[in-house]
Amino acid sequence: MEAIQPQTDASTNDANPSPSLPTASSRTSSKSCDLLDLFAPLLSSINFQLLGPLAVGVRRKRSPGIARDCQCTVIQPPKPGSFNLVYILEFSDGVKWVIRIPLPEDGGPVPESSRSLYSEIMTTVWIRRNTSIPMPEIYDFCENSNNEIGVPYLLMEFVEGFRVCDIWFDDSGPTPKHERRLRILDNVAAAMSQLSQFQFDKIGSLHFAPRNPNPTDIGPCNVLDELGVIAAAKDDAQSGVKYQRIGPFETSQQYFQALFRVSHEISSDSDPFFTGTLHLLKMMIEYIPRSVFPDTATPEDDHESFVLTHPDFDSQNFLVSENGTLMAVLDWDGVHTVPRCIGYDRYPGWITRDWDPLMYGYGIGDCVENSPEELDFYRQHYAERMVASASATSGFQTKSHLFEALWGAVSSPMCAPGIIEKLFTHVFPSDEQDNLEEPIHFYETALGLARGTLEKEKELRVRKEFEKLFNIRR
């Protein structure tokens, strides 16, 4: 166990203005499982009798002057997230803290999971120390189960606020909805732009030597094994989250290709159309730009540099006040360095929802969503704010919704089919193809690639359009 002064994740306000924005974290299949069942093994491992005394002991070390009879109550029920249980702790003098308990890896604790958690915690501490991004302070943590409550944990600051997903569509408060939205985007851009000061020579998680507050190396990073999660859920055998450790990498291509191998399987008995869509995805990966400054790099310059970003850059992880002022950025689980095309200056996930058809519900029943035109407006506004911060990396930012979509397709077997079709029909609109002598349609192209019957001329046309789509040079 290690007590520290810097900080990381926090808590959320219970208020839920309606309607609520769906979040991209539902991309993980854990959302399709019953959360109580998923967290049952973890709940049975926690020594709740010692949880309150643990918090009191940590607080007493930090503030020796608190009352001798100070006690701490664990507020039930917990707030389950995709990969964490979050409890609010309330002390007898009214002070509130949060304890976050991560879901263990399937199969039980392993040394690699402790090292990964340590890296994530120390990275958030380091970011907080070197920026003014609002992040809740971590008061104490233990990256393994060798402690009085029997599970890894983070004790941290409680932050009042509304999640963006709960307030984005709310118009019941004194602040006009549109004004609040623009302030949210302005504040988020100002926060994320501060990550521009950091760059690295590899893709992976930051490693920290003991008692060294600064990163000393880049190592493997954790990525969700969604295929493994889906298989375990089908067999009713899931007892934790499944990860694979990949990297480190020296090129963007290596990273995207590794993500593809983790999340997708192509076998001889696969459906030909499904196989063809994955061939299209692999083709798109070939045109991912190098992670360099596009306006200054030369074709001969093969050295890439990488940046940080929020690993789950979506509305449930940003706390704001009623008027849209950013209060805290939460849950940096899995943080690692990434290619610039999906780095700190990409668009927030809640204004790119139209590029993930599985998650985007505009026009479907009673689903509350921004229209594509509204999302375009908010992306333009956000891009202008990032450019004004002098941190936007040229074409990466204005095309980041395309790179994020590709990243999502590579990482998620559930979302991949819809995203692949969305990207393909963006460059080959069906209504335009119907009027051509040699049309290129999604279904026929995928089947042709799978069966090896796609005409060479059509394949070259597809490749040319993909290259143009992901090109960032002016």
Q: Is 234 exposed, middle or buried (0-12, 13-18, 19+ CB in 10 A)?
A: exposed
Judge if 255 and 385 occupy the same domain: yes
Judge if 31 and 126 occupy the same domain: yes
Neighbours of 111 (CB within 10 A): 8
Q: Is 390 exposed, middle or buried (0-12, 13-18, 19+ CB in 10 A)?
A: exposed
User: Rounded to 5, what percent of the chain is helix, strand, coil?
Assistant: 40, 15, 45
Q: What is the full DSSP assignment across 169-210?
A: T---SSS-HHHHHHHHHHHHHHHHGGGGG--BSSBSEEE--T
Collect the ranges in the chain with pLDDT lower than 70.
1-37, 107-111, 233, 235-240, 294-301, 390-395, 474
Residue 147 included in any domain = yes
Judge if 182 and 130 occupy the same domain: no
Last residue of a domain, one of 131, 161, 191: 161
Q: What is the pLDDT of residue 294?
A: 62
Q: What is the pLDDT of residue 388?
A: 87
What are the helix (H) ranges across 206-359? Answer: 226-234, 252-263, 272-285
Residue 99 near residue 51 (C-beta atoms within 8 A): yes
Residue 139 near residue 62 (C-beta atoms within 8 A): yes
What residue has token string 């209060």? 327
Q: At 429, which amino acid appears?
A: P
Judge if 124 and 186 occupy the same domain: no
Q: At 76, which amino acid appears?
A: Q
What residue has token string 């076998």? 267
Please give the residue range of the domain that contains residue 359: 177-470
Contacts 24+ apart (CB under 8 A), 71-74: 72/97, 74/48, 74/99
Number of structural domains the chain divides into: 2
Residue 168 included in any domain = no
Which residues does residue 142 pair with via DSSP β-bridges, in sequence order?
153
Distance separating alpha carbons of residues 313 and 404, to the nearest angstrom = 10
Distance in Å from the first CA to the final CA of the chain:
51
Last residue of a domain, one of 121, 136, 161: 161
Residue 385 included in any domain = yes
* Among 254, 275, 314, 202, residue whose Cα is nearest residue 449: 275
CATH number of the domain encompassing residue 452: 3.90.1200
Q: What is the pLDDT of residue 211?
A: 83
Residue 167 included in any domain = no
Q: Is 148 exposed, middle or buried (0-12, 13-18, 19+ CB in 10 A)?
A: middle
Judge if 111 and 188 occupy the same domain: no
What CA–CA distances, in Å, run from 43 to 78, 86, 258, 366? 10, 12, 33, 35
Q: What is the pLDDT of residue 33?
A: 43
* Among 150, 153, 155, 156, residue whose Cα is nearest residue 46: 150
CATH number of the domain encompassing residue 135: 3.30.200.20
Query: String of b and e for 7-32 (b: at least 16 CB within 10 Å)?
Result: bbbbbbbeeebeebbbbbbbbbbbee
- Residues belonging to the chain: 474
Judge if 266 and 309 occupy the same domain: yes
Tokens at 124, concatenated = 């958030």
Q: What is the pLDDT of residue 226?
A: 86
Judge if 150 and 235 occupy the same domain: no
Judge if 231 and 379 occupy the same domain: yes
Q: What is the pLDDT of residue 268?
A: 73
Judge if 114 and 261 occupy the same domain: no
Q: Phi and psi dihedrals of 75, rounded to 5?
A: -75, 125
Residue 76 near residue 89 (C-beta atoms within 8 A): no
Last residue of a domain, one of 103, 128, 161: 161
Q: Is 188 exposed, middle or buried (0-12, 13-18, 19+ CB in 10 A)?
A: buried
Judge if 119 and 199 occupy the same domain: no
Judge if 359 and 237 occupy the same domain: yes
Judge if 121 and 228 occupy the same domain: no
CA torsion, points 222, 227, 231, 233, in degrees to nearest 10? Answer: 60
Residue 280 included in any domain = yes
Q: Is 70 exposed, middle or buried (0-12, 13-18, 19+ CB in 10 A)?
A: middle
Residue 406 included in any domain = yes
Residue 190 included in any domain = yes
Residue 170 included in any domain = no
